[in-house]
């Protein structure tokens, strides 16, 4: 994001706040599409950032929805039903029935029980639905090979359900091509075995590769080379069906900026502390180990690199855990300065303990390609959510 746009916004808006650069988001999705094979479809995981779901919808093939709240958000944004893939380990029967009646047709099944629920609802409503069977990677998500095969054997001729394919996701921030190779080899082999044992060949493979994002200073990663090598792994597969990559962090991270103001500075026991009006309840970086890693931060207003000191950047919560960064070098830091935390477009704004101490939720803005800001959420009080009612 251009520094002058941040300066422009800070003249009229109160911190803390988030800005999501839609031009950067569009460029990011376009880059991924151009870097990946033509047969690859992209699915955006809405949980990464709901505030850019409408804009992402214009450029991706599908959107993964994992909760009732995400569903209501996407409906309110008029995202068309045919783009949804309804996922999640807890599928509430009444809501699933509502979705099927409304016209949604793509679902995942995390277990035999979940599959039977969806099938029964399809029969009840007289609507035919498509189901991806989620294969476990060894966690609470998905199901074992044996359960998946049981579903296939019992339902190949079921008229209310189309077994559209397999879903597989094993984690995030995967920089190891060897691990990705192992996963793709496993999937390739299993699909062939599934075909031999059941006669079923899945039309679709939805795979969560967990592409990495470099959040911190000093991290080096040649993404173009990485994606080129990943493409080679895909080309080596015997599987010839459709492949969808489910991405959240990789799509959304780069478009976000978090702005927070310095409200106090002090020196305690030889350590310099800056107190910010934001904090850990609003900003989380994946892999931020005890605040020791240094994310990419800019200081506003800019200053010459003189009187540089190492500052412990702390939030407004009354807990010693509220340290965003330890010993970050900044030049001549003053009360009233604003710090811009970059690469915060994915998860950062929702993974914090937002209701702790009943602090306000930050305002959220979108910046379009023409340089216009759109406020999509005002600063919101949380005390009403934490106040007991005796009515």
- Tell me the pLDDT tens digit for each residue of 9-60: 999 999 999 999 999 999 999 999 999 999 999 999 999 999 999 999 999 9
What are 211-270's pLDDT values in tens digits?
Answer: 999 999 989 889 999 999 999 999 999 999 999 999 999 999 999 999 999 999 999 999
User: Is the link from the previous residue into 301 a cis peptide, with omega within 30 of 0?
Assistant: yes
pLDDT of residue 310: 97
Question: Can you read off the two tokens belonging to residue 385?
Answer: 């959510």
pLDDT of residue 287: 86
In the chain, at which residue ranges do the beta strands (DSSP E only) sit? 17-21, 40-45, 62-65, 84-86, 106-109, 129-134, 161-169, 204-208, 242-247, 256-268, 271-276, 297-300, 308-314, 323-331, 338-342, 363-367, 373-377
Question: Can you read off the two tokens belonging to residue 21?
Answer: 């650069």
pTM: 0.95
Strands 297-300 and 256-268: unpaired
pLDDT of residue 307: 84
- Is the pLDDT score of 1 beyond 80? no
Q: What is d(CA 245, CA 64) in angstroms, rounded to the nearest whole number?
A: 11
* pLDDT tier for residue 391 given thresholds of 50, 70 and 90: confident
pLDDT of residue 290: 80
Q: Scanning the structure block, which residue is given the tokens 């509220």?
A: 322
CA 96 to chain CA centroid, Å, is 23
Q: What is d(CA 99, CA 83) in angstroms, rounded to the nearest whole number?
A: 13
pLDDT of residue 303: 86
* pLDDT tier for residue 148 given thresholds of 50, 70 and 90: very high
> Cβ-count burial of 217 within 10 angstroms (0-12 exposed, 13-18 middle, 19+ buried)?
exposed
- Is the pLDDT score of 341 beyond 90? yes
């Amino acid at each position: 994001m251009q520094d002058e746009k941040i300066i422009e916004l800070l003249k009229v808006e109160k911190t803390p706040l988030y800005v999501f650069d839609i031009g950067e988001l569009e460029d990011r999705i376009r880059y991924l599409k151009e870097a990946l094979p033509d047969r690859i479809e992209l699915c955006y995981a809405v949980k990464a950032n709901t505030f850019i779901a409408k804009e992402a919808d214009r450029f991706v093939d599908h959107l993964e929805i994992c909760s009732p709240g995400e569903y209501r958000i996407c409906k309110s944004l008029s995202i068309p039903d045919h783009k949804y893939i309804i996922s999640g380990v807890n599928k509430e029967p009444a809501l699933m029935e509502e979705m099927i009646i409304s016209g949604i047709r793509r679902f995942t099944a995390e277990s035999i029980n979940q599959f039977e629920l969806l099938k029964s609802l399809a029969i009840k409503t007289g609507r035919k639905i498509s189901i991806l069977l989620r294969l476990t990677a060894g966690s609470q998500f998905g199901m074992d090979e044996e359960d998946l095969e049981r579903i296939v054997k019992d339902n190949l001729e079921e008229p209310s359900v189309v077994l559209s394919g397999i879903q597989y996701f094993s984690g995030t921030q995967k920089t190891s091509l060897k691990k990705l190779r192992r996963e793709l080899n496993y999937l390739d082999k299993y699909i062939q075995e599934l075909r031999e044992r059941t006669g079923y060949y899945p039309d679709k493979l939805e795979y969560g590769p967990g592409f990495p994002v470099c959040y911190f200073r000093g991290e080096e990663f040649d993404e173009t080379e990485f994606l080129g090598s990943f493409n080679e792994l895909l080309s080596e597969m015997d599987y010839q069906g459709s492949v969808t990559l489910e991405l959240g962090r990789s799509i959304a991270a780069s478009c976000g900026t978090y702005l927070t103001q310095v409200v106090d500075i002090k020196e305690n026991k030889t350590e310099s502390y800056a107190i910010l009006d934001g904090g850990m309840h609003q900003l989380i970086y994946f892999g931020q180990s005890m605040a020791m890693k240094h994310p990419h931060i800019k200081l506003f207003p800019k200053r010459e690199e003189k009187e540089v000191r190492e500052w412990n950047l702390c939030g407004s919560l009354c807990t010693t855990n509220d340290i965003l960064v330890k010993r970050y070098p900044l030049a001549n830091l003053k009360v009233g300065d604003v710090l811009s935390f970059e690469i915060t477009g994915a998860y950062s704004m929702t993974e914090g303990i937002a209701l702790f101490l009943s602090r306000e939720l930050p305002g959220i803005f979108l910046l379009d390609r023409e340089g216009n800001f759109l406020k999509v959420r005002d600063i919101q009080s949380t005390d009403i959510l934490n106040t007991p009612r005796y009515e």
